[in-house]
Homo-oligomer: A and B are copies of this chain.
Amino acid sequence: MDESDLHFWKSIAIKMTDQVEKAISPLIGTKEAGEIIRMGADGTPSKLIDLVAEDEVIEVLVSSKRPVTLISEEIGTIKINSSPNEYIDIEALRNAQGKNLRNTEDFYNSSNDPQIIFVVDPLDGTSNAVKKIPAFGISIAIAEYTPTKDLPSLNDVKMGFIKNFATGDFYEVIKDKESLVNGKKVSPSIQTSLNHSSMGAFIYGTKFSQINNICKIIRRMRILGSVALELSYVGNGAYDAFMDLRGNLRVVDIAAAKLFVEQSGGLITDQAGLPLNGLLNLSSRTSIIATGNKDLHKEIMKIMEVI
């Protein structure tokens, strides 16, 4: 992706952020927002506020007038502007339900040109938005994929944009560049002692034996309920560490925040300490251990007796 393309797609991501924020704002904290409208492409129920957010995402991509693939929770994986005068009927796509979630291999083999893929969580922290708990926002990862033997994965992500709509904080990152919050360069925590660590930890529903030791030792534990935002907190040091050990975290939900953590200088692996390189599709799942630095990561792995 050259500078001009980076600039173009960044402007689309910012437009997307603005339009989604505007569209959902009247719904924040309302009962209506949480009404289940249909089943999404990923097999989980779609709430009104999720669909309102995703409609804006699709519309902004259509308005870009460039061919682009969208991967998003409710609509699935779709191609947009693949032919010059293509008409995108969102309602028809939604009615197709799970059918949009095609075999990823077939999907990408249909072309040999480099493709732009928008991996979007239009509203991360939906239940927070419905209850007006101040951690919900958009996550946008932009990947560039040239069809080869490998399918598109987290390694292909070139840019990430995350906004907490409740606070207005805007997180952005471009591969091989700095991680920024509200335009300012950020750094992760230098805390190396678990005893003094504040950690985001999605632990409910996990085996307690796995994390009992961690919870006993850490200074502070937080669960805000928005993985994209809380993972980004490792990038700017708001959290010393973040872990999600439930094992069913969608790869697409962390696509932007993972790059944000890495480019800030933080460390992110799965629960076994291995690099994250999941495929960019809705069925791909992972666990996460992210820290501000290597020493704290080692500390966590040691305590979990994985190493």
Binding site for B on A (CB under 8 A): 127, 131-135, 164, 166-167, 169, 198, 203-205, 208, 212, 215-216, 218, 220-225, 233, 237-239
SS class, residues of chain A in contact with chain B = loop
Query: In whole angstroms, what is the CA distance A87 to B233 when docked?
Result: 45
Query: In whole angstroms, what is the CA distance A112 to B96 when docked?
Result: 76
Contact check: which of B164, B203, B218, B237 meets A134 at CB < 8 Å?
Answer: B164
Query: In whole angstroms, what is the CA distance A224 to B230 when docked?
Result: 11
Contact check: which of B133, B203, B205, B215 meets A224 at CB < 8 Å?
Answer: B133
State whether A215 touches B220 (Cβ < 8 A).
Answer: no
Give the residues in chain B near A224, CB-CB below 8 Å: 133, 222, 224
Give the residues in chain B near A169, CB-CB below 8 Å: 132
State whether B166 touches A134 (Cβ < 8 A).
Answer: yes
Give the residues in chain B near A237, CB-CB below 8 Å: 131
* 8 nearest A-B pairs in the assembled complex, by CB-CB distance: A204-B221, A134-B134, A131-B238, A223-B223, A204-B215, A134-B167, A208-B212, A222-B223
Residue on B nearest A214 in the bound complex, by CB: B204
Give the residues in chain B near A208, CB-CB below 8 Å: 208, 212, 215-216
A222 CB to closest chain B CB (Å) equals 5
Contact check: which of B131, B198, B203, B204 meets A127 at CB < 8 Å?
Answer: B198
Give the residues in chain B near A220, CB-CB below 8 Å: 127, 204, 225
A231 CB to closest chain B CB (Å) equals 14
Most buried by B among A133, A198, A205, A225: A133
Query: In whole angstroms, what is the CA distance A166 to B224 when docked?
Result: 14
If A133-B233, A166-B167 are given as contacts, then 8 extra A-B residue pairs at C-beta distance below 8 Å, sorted by A number, are A131-B238, A132-B167, A134-B164, A134-B166, A166-B166, A167-B167, A204-B220, A222-B225
Query: In whole angstroms, what is the CA distance A224 to B215 when docked?
Result: 16
Query: In whole angstroms, what is the CA distance A222 to B133 when docked?
Result: 10
Query: In whole angstroms, what is the CA distance A223 to B203 when docked?
Result: 11
State whether A132 touches B238 (Cβ < 8 A).
Answer: yes
A238 CB to closest chain B CB (Å) equals 4
Query: In whole angstroms, what is the CA distance A133 to B220 when docked?
Result: 13
Give the residues in chain B near A164, CB-CB below 8 Å: 134
| Residues A238 and B133 in contact in the complex (CB < 8 Å), given A127-B198, A220-B127, A224-B224 | yes
